[in-house]
Amino acid sequence: MAHALREKAAISGVGETAYTRGTPKSPLALQLEASLAAIADAGLSPRDIDGVVPYFPGGGIAEDFIANLDLPDLKLSVFVPMGGATCVAAIQTAAMAVATGVCRHVLISVGRTGYSGARVSTRLQQFPQFALAAEFEAPIGMFAPAQLYAQGARRHMELYGTTARHFAEIAVVTRQHAILNGNVVMNKPLTVEEHHASRMISDPFRLFDCSLESDGGAAIIVSAADRARDLKKPLVTVMGVAEGHPESPASIAQRPDLLEFGLAKAAPRAYDMAGVGPKDIDVAEIYDCFTFTVINQLELLGFCKKGEGGPFIMDGRIGVGGELPINTHGGLLSQGHVVGLNHVVELTRQLRREAGKAQVKDAEVGLVTGYGDMGDGSVAILRRAA
């Protein structure tokens, strides 16, 4: 029997601001600008929104959306506190709301001043999920994700022979895609040599292995599929979606296997719900807080075996025109860091065939992941149903 949520929800609208380093705007203003763009993209009025899942902490809360968008009857206000896994996990929350009839149109949105506002080490202290890291790891000089995730990357290299050349491939191809997109922070080509020459942040991560601190906003609308069919844009349905939480969720250090996290639980559930597998995926937008995390996730998603992610991404496989194009918008590494909601925006555009120079030919089914908060994972599989 098909999963009760399969294709009951659709991504009906997507919107973004410009991605920049430097802005006079507040995170809330960026979030609302992107939200208005997503609402217009869907052909809706702001007053049609009856559910909100804002990224938290940072940016607006339900009160801000009611006050600014004049929402007459908000029926759902939820936070999904999963760091970088939030935006894709929020699709599951929103899909449940629209499939059951609690809501008609749920707005998921992010506004962030990661460059001109508080930087990562300051922002993380707002997260209750980071209390253990603050007590046991910050005092010994480990706190930022670049440091905490670096230990997993090092272990992968030692166990499986993964190299900086593999990391560079992700950085270089992602940059090529960013240049095709245009609305990006990093718009100059990047070479393997430039990657290898960039300064070390936390070994094995160099500067160009790390995602951007940038300013911007993104938003999507999740609508009941039967309503979205009548809206402006080609129908893109949610075939499968799931979130997963790892062992030792608040401390990577205590996790039995540093390379096995929430996505390992979420991926099989999302494939089951969708009724498809890795071979059916035409394009994938993979949460790229670091180059290595893309390699690790491709393994957990079943695109290749554990330990084989490095060789898998080489030889043109992940570029537009390759067998599995990845991060066709430039990702968090080169487009901008809006906690991965830009990945959902891009996948939706790919399936609508609105992706411009980065369009993957005949893209029918695509996959997007979220990853964050010390190892929470989320994945959605979307389909062009128009």
Chain positions contacting another protein, by CB under 8 A: 120-121, 132, 134-144, 146-147, 150-152, 154-155, 158-159, 199-204, 251, 253-254, 258
CA distance 89 to 379: 7
Q: How far is the CB of 57 from another protein (least distance, A)?
A: 19
Cβ closest to another protein, residue 68 vs residue 198: 198
Which amino acid, residue 149?
Answer: Y
Q: What is the DSSP letter of 82?
A: -
Cβ closest to another protein, residue 188 vs residue 199: 199
Q: How far is the CB of 110 from another protein (least distance, A)?
A: 22
And the tokens for 217?
Answer: 């906003």
3-state secondary structure of 383: strand
Q: How far is the CB of 223 from another protein (least distance, A)?
A: 40
CB 24 within 8 A of CB 206: no
Q: How far is the CB of 189 from another protein (least distance, A)?
A: 24
Cβ closest to another protein, residue 102 vs residue 200: 200
CB 267 within 8 A of CB 348: no
Cβ closest to another protein, residue 78 vs residue 253: 253
Q: How far is the CB of 161 from another protein (least distance, A)?
A: 13
How many Cα atoms within 13 Å fall on the side-chain side of residue 276?
Answer: 22
CA-CA distances (angstroms) from residue 101 to 7, 104, 236, 239, 246? 14, 7, 19, 18, 31
Q: How many CB atoms lie within 10 A of CB 145?
A: 25
Find, among 169, 218, 190, the residue nearest to 318 by Cα: 169
Cβ closest to another protein, residue 134 vs residue 276: 134
And the tokens for 239?
Answer: 């075939």
Q: How far is the CB of 172 from another protein (least distance, A)?
A: 22
CB 378 within 8 A of CB 266: yes
Cβ closest to another protein, residue 121 vs residue 163: 121
Cβ closest to another protein, residue 145 vs residue 217: 145
Q: How far is the CB of 209 from another protein (least distance, A)?
A: 12
Q: What single string gives the DSSP state of each residue in 266-294?
A: HHHHHHHHHT--GGG-SEEE---SBHHHH
Cβ closest to another protein, residue 51 vs residue 84: 84
Which amino acid, residue 214?
Answer: S
Which phi and psi angles does 256 have, rounded to 5°?
A: -50, -45
Find, among 235, 302, 266, 307, the residue nearest to 85 by Cα: 266
The sheet carrying 365-372 orders its strands as: 76-77, 51-54, 105-113, 215-224, 9-16, 236-244, 376-384, 365-372, 283-285
Q: How far is the CB of 130 from another protein (least distance, A)?
A: 12
Cβ closest to another protein, residue 23 vs residue 251: 251
Q: How far is the CB of 152 from another protein (least distance, A)?
A: 7
CB 383 within 8 A of CB 236: yes
Cβ closest to another protein, residue 51 vs residue 152: 152
And the tokens for 134?
Answer: 């603050």
Q: How far is the CB of 271 from another protein (least distance, A)?
A: 28
CA distance 323 to 119: 36
